[in-house]
Amino acid sequence: MAASSASASTLCIYRLRNFEFRNGTTLPSVHLAYLDINPQSPRTALINTAFRGRLNSTCTFANGALRNHRIIVVALFGNGESASPSNTDGFPGEVDYTDCVRAQHELLTSHLHIDHVDVALGFSMGGQCTYYWTLMHPRYVRRAVIICSSARTSRHNYQFLEGPKAALLHSVDYHGRDARESAGPSRGLCAFGKAYSAWLTSAEWFEEEMYRSLGYATLADWDQATTAANYVGWDPNDLLCKLGMWQRGDVTAIPGSGSARLEDALAGIEAQVLLMPCRTDQYFRWEASERESRMIARARFRPIPSIWGHLAGVGINKDDTEWMDQNIAEFIG
Amino acid sequence: MAASSASASTLCIYRLRNFEFRNGTTLPSVHLAYLDINPQSPRTALINTAFRGRLNSTCTFANGALRNHRIIVVALFGNGESASPSNTDGFPGEVDYTDCVRAQHELLTSHLHIDHVDVALGFSMGGQCTYYWTLMHPRYVRRAVIICSSARTSRHNYQFLEGPKAALLHSVDYHGRDARESAGPSRGLCAFGKAYSAWLTSAEWFEEEMYRSLGYATLADWDQATTAANYVGWDPNDLLCKLGMWQRGDVTAIPGSGSARLEDALAGIEAQVLLMPCRTDQYFRWEASERESRMIARARFRPIPSIWGHLAGVGINKDDTEWMDQNIAEFIG
């Protein structure tokens, strides 16, 4: 159907009526933004966006391992495409991955009439949301690919996020939760980006001046892009909303999980899971993924051999992307 | 001499006349603050303060491996005790470890009439200054102890520091280089501390809740102390002054070094050097210290087996302090 093919990268909107967030807020209308790529394909993939991810920057494997799948790419609440502080009056101060999964489940079942997902995939926050999917709808998701992520945000990861958060909250041009910021860069976003920047990759990456491979002649040039240009168009309150969801990420806190022990929670996963942390990720550390892999009945642990740290999983470095693509292809068979 | 003993922990001041800083600024009078502990002892130790170090918090080994030494503890320019933006009109915007060493050399030779230093020791920025000493006065320093430090600030370390720096510079209550801040806590200092906090120790340290060993029941309690109380009394411009010196730390940039290659510079060290990085330090990484140890003629490489990360070297954790003390005792014989 030519029309379907043409709509491959068109942003779609699904509206949910009277949606109740976990924090108790109920809104008469909230929306999910998503892409529906290759809608005629017989197998279905579900991909969630990451922290600073937009729908169109979250299609890394669409032309690779997932090219024969119908791919639903869906934006997390708070990313500025789905309902977020910047685009929805009364949006709650705290959102939760369970909110994202409940809304997405309605989208997939009631609206798109998809009866199961063959592979759910996510990087970073997208991986956390994917973990929630495997536990909130264990039989709906057949396989899960978790890239540079974790089932529970570590204390170290939590504390790292306190840095950029505080840099923004205390900045001279942050005007509070209720202010609609202009979308341009600001000193607060610059401070946010600076406080985040050294975590993104790895010490080895800096040592070997890998920013050159991205076209930056000097560290200062890379810094300028990373801490300013990268944040153009991002609303401060949207970033803070998602950051809070990330900090609270913890599958043992899913209502009804019944145990605060990670091993008990992860024992509930029925999907086959491919875990691909990066060997040099400074905050979603491979050691945590390895521990998780031992708590999941059918897990495959494949750490990315790269000095790109967390960014290895985002699709920015060709070698890492090809490595992941091949591992995903083998995993989904 | 009872008087000497009584003066052990008294803060001493030495004034330098017409001191010319490396950046070209000349001031009619600048001062060094120092302690002179056990002045009657035959052997001499020189200890420099670290980034957030005061003289009285920099005496870790005074009652241990160095107890039989006369110990000169000297404050880096910018620490608020020696000449600093907060206490000296016209203090230069950029200071350099070479400024510290030149001033300290005058103190030790012209004022204290010390003809050599048996052991120079420093943690973190103090270690960097110690490295400068070994190269600016190779025969004056017989042994050097470098704790959680490096001869050249790595790009990763540099970029990490951009975070707290930006958090402070863009904060709502930072009023610029020329403003004398009140000494109390501020939102800018809080943001600085937050952006710094997750780097201080290690991922394992957070995972194992080691803040409990410091008396904090929760991560939030530790965070509160680390990002607020720890900065009470610190002047924002003093912190920025020292942070810049740290970022520019590079022994190959010592005037007359003649080579930008670290191996060429470190070949000039005549002192015996004990390098004690920490296995889990996230920014002064042990791998860099190991490389340096191979470039130094008489080096001993002893990584601290600890999950306390950078803080292993500061003397906060008893086991690490005892481990270092023993290694220093063996090293100085």
Per-residue model confidence as pLDDT tens digits over A252-305: 999 988 888 999 999 999 999 999 999 999 999 999 999 999 999 999 999 999
DSSP B284: S
Contact status of B285 with chain A (Cβ, < 8 Å): yes
Chains A, B: CB pairs < 8 Å: 128
Mean pLDDT, range B90-119, rounded to an integer:
97
Per-residue model confidence as pLDDT tens digits over A33-66: 999 999 999 999 999 999 999 999 999 999 999 9
CA closest to B175 among chain A residues: A172
Query: In a 10 Å sphere around its CB, with 0-12 CB exposed, 13-18 middle and 19+ buried, how is residue A189 labelled?
Result: buried
Does this complex have an ipTM over 0.85? Answer: yes
Neighbouring C-beta atoms of residue A47, cutoff 10 Å: 30
Chain B contact probe: residue of A154, A171, A175, A287 with most B CBs at under 10 A = A171
| CA–CA separation, B207 and A155 (whole Å) | 6
Q: Is the pLDDT of residue B199 over 50?
A: yes
Residues 151-180 of B with CB under 8 A from A: 154-156, 158-160, 162-167, 169-174
C-alpha distances in Å from residue A212, one per residue of A36, A208, A227, A292: 35, 9, 17, 35
* Contact assignment for B171 to A170 by CB distance below 8 Å: yes
What pLDDT, on the 0 to 100 scale, is given for residue A147? 98
CA closest to B155 among chain A residues: A206
Tell me the average pLDDT of chain B.
Answer: 94
| CA–CA separation, A197 and A223 (whole Å) | 8
Q: How confident is the model at residue A160 (pLDDT cuts 50, 70, 90)?
A: very high
Contact status of B207 with chain A (Cβ, < 8 Å): yes
Per-residue model confidence as pLDDT tens digits over B36-81: 999 999 999 999 999 999 999 999 999 999 999 999 999 999 999 9
| CA–CA separation, B126 and B48 (whole Å) | 5
Query: In a 10 Å sphere around its CB, with 0-12 CB exposed, 13-18 middle and 19+ buried, how is residue B124 labelled?
Result: buried
What pLDDT, on the 0 to 100 scale, is given for residue B185? 53
**Per-residue tokens: B300:** 């001993």
C-alpha distances in Å from residue B211, one per residue of B25, B101, B311: 43, 36, 12
> Closest partner residue to A219 among B159, B164, B197, by Cβ?
B159
Contact status of B197 with chain A (Cβ, < 8 Å): yes
Tell me, what amino acid is at A220? A
- Within 8 A of B195 by CB-CB distance, chain A residues are 163-164, 166-167, 194-195
Measure A188 CA to nearest chain B CA, in Å.
7
Whole-model pTM? Answer: 0.95
Per-residue model confidence as pLDDT tens digits over B140-191: 999 999 999 999 999 999 999 999 999 999 999 998 887 765 555 589 999 9
What pLDDT, on the 0 to 100 scale, is given for residue B175? 87
Per-residue model confidence as pLDDT tens digits over B8-31: 468 999 999 999 999 999 999 999
Residues in chain B: 333
| CA–CA separation, A61 and A192 (whole Å) | 29
Tell me, what amino acid is at B127? G
Contact status of A272 with chain B (Cβ, < 8 Å): no
Tell me, what amino acid is at A104? Q
Element of type H or E holding B74: strand B69-74
Mean pLDDT, range A229-233, rounded to an integer:
86
Tell me, what amino acid is at A101? V
Measure B201 CA to nearest chain A CA, in Å.
9
Task: Tell me how far apart the 2 most distant CA atoms of chain A are, in Å.
Answer: 53
Instruction: Tally the C-alpha atoms within 13 A of residue B120's C-alpha that lie toward its C-beta.
Output: 32
What pLDDT, on the 0 to 100 scale, is given for residue B181? 56
